[in-house]
Structure 1
Amino acid sequence: MIGRVLAADFLKIRRTLAWFLVLLGPVGVVGLQAVNFGLRYDYLTKQYANDLWYGLLSNIQFLAAPALLLGMTLLTSMIAGYEHQRNSWKQLLALPVSRFSVFTSKLLLVLILLLVSCLLLAAGSVLLGFLLGFGMNVPVMHVLRISLFPLLAGIPILSIQLWLSVAVRNQAIPLTAGILGTVLSLFSIRLPDWFLWKWPLLVNEAGRPELNVWLGIATGIVVFLIGLTHFTRQDVN
């Protein structure tokens, strides 16, 4: 049943800018780093002379995390807002599908879109490294880590944004919350490890990025279940 609802949701986003946002995120991040390294090539290559790929990927990671959080905010609001604007929640829930399937489909839809965006980021990062002349010895695992780990660590934030976007008709509220969280993430390195918006940066006192991933998955499941419970009991317009 979830598969059919998900297929219908994919058809709906053809009328939105969702795929444009999926492409814009990685292109923007890689493009900004291309300008950064292009303008300061000599300085940055000297600074990261011991490991040019690490220097490039660390700079990309710094921009990728807030871009991902902003993408979560915009995509969840866009997808839920589509239903709100057309007053189609009652019509949708009147169909022979469960609320579990409807809510889960929305989450899976955004996860798939963000996964595509993360894979494009990985490909763009490798391409930029080649163009900058950093050699063929690509640290594939590091590329995948900075591209995919922030998404997994950010699942609780995605669940919160989806919950807010579905529960609140006025999308200014989830958008404001998401943008505020994105801005705070830029300064979150000095904040405690329990701060959710710090997790996609893959930074913690233990120095173990994978810890953020496991915490993100576990906490994301809990937040998703809370949001699902609220959705199943909520009257929708």
Structure 2
Amino acid sequence: MIGKLLTSDQLKMKRTSLWLVTILVPFVTVLLKLAESLIRYDYYVKEVNKTGDWWTTHLNILIGIMVFAVPVGITITCSVIANTEHQSKGWKHTLALPLSRTGVYVSKFTWAVICSLISALLLTVGLALFGLCLGAKDPIPWIILFKNSFGPYISSLPIIAFQLWLSMVIRNQAFSITIGTVSAMVGLFLNFGDFTRWLPWAYPLQSFAFIMSEKGMVPNPDLLLMNLLGLGIGIVLLFIGAKDFARRDIY
């Protein structure tokens, strides 16, 4: 049954801007990074000469861009997916069919995750092209690029679960988008507290291959932990959201 629901949702989403959002988020992220590197070209030349590591030096600033772009992209993705039903007033028809409400919810969550992983893959390729455009002489560190691209998305599974639930149960998508955008901005500062760093909105900031320390950029010792936390809490929130959706009257 879940396979048929996924296919049905795919057909519905063909007429939406979902795929544009999926492509646009990594494209804009790389474009902003490229513009920043060109504007501060002399600075980066000095930093690369100092550290001897072209990729780590350039990817440092990417953290500040991605930690905001990833949650906002997820917010818009979940809103578009839910709005395919809200806008056409299709909930009454969909939920009247002999389908499991939990299955309907899981299908839409699955598509939100698929779109996020596609964005992560496009970001990986975009970062590799970014290095080639700027003439990076060091070999492309594919493992680091994959970690930097997929890590924040994997740890953002709780955000996907929360934003999808919000978009599904509330018809006015301006509300869910506002909540998601504000949460993304707040997430920039949550990492600095002993308690707040364990809130899901702080996970993307802690899910990069390297982090800044007193010694400069060093490998992130919490990368695996943050990804596992994101995966575990995301599944729990998915279960809670699906149960809540199944008992609600959605119109």
Tell me which interval the TM-score lies in, with the shorter structure as reference length: over 0.9
Q: What is the match of residue 215 of structure 1?
A: 229
Q: What is the match of residue 199 of structure 1?
A: 203
Partners of 1:194 and 1:180 in 2: CA distance = 18
Partners of 2:5 and 2:45 in 1: CA distance = 49
Amino acid at match of 1:114: S
Amino acid at match of 2:26: P
Q: What is the match of residue 81 of structure 2?
A: 79
Shift of 1:114: 1.2
Partners of 1:125 and 1:42 in 2: CA distance = 20
Counterpart contact for 1:90–1:236, Cα < 8 Å: yes
Counterpart contact for 1:153–1:217, Cα < 8 Å: yes
Q: What is the match of residue 6 of structure 2?
A: 6
Which deviations, in whole Å up to 9, do the C-alpha atoms of 1:172-214 show, x marking residues without a partner? Answer: 2211110111111223331332121110112699841211101
Counterpart contact for 2:102–2:242, Cα < 8 Å: yes
Per mean C-alpha deviation after superposition, the further-off stretch among 205-214 and 20-29 is 205-214
Which deviations, in whole Å up to 9, do the C-alpha atoms of 1:20-65 show, x marking residues without a partner? Answer: 1111111111111111111111211212332111122222233122
Which deviations, in whole Å up to 9, do the C-alpha atoms of 1:53-104 show, x marking residues without a partner? Answer: 1122222233122111001111111111221122111210122221121000
Shift of 1:136: 4.9
Q: What is the match of residue 225 of structure 1?
A: 239
CA RMSD in angstroms, aligned pairs only: 1.7
Q: What is the match of residue 19 of structure 1?
A: 19
Q: What is the match of residue 110 of structure 2?
A: 108
Partners of 1:154 and 1:175 in 2: CA distance = 16
Partners of 1:152 and 1:189 in 2: CA distance = 17
Tell me the percent identity.
36
Partners of 1:48 and 1:161 in 2: CA distance = 39
Q: What is the match of residue 39 of structure 1?
A: 39
Q: Choose the corresponding residue for 1:140, options 139, 142, 145.
A: 142
Counterpart contact for 1:48–1:55, Cα < 8 Å: yes
Q: What is the match of residue 189 of structure 2?
A: 187
Counterpart contact for 2:188–2:205, Cα < 8 Å: no
The normalised TM-score by structure 2 is: 0.89
Q: How many residues align?
A: 237
Consecutive unaligned residues of structure 2, counting only runs of 5 or more, are: 214-219
Counterpart contact for 2:54–2:138, Cα < 8 Å: no
Partners of 1:45 and 1:6 in 2: CA distance = 48
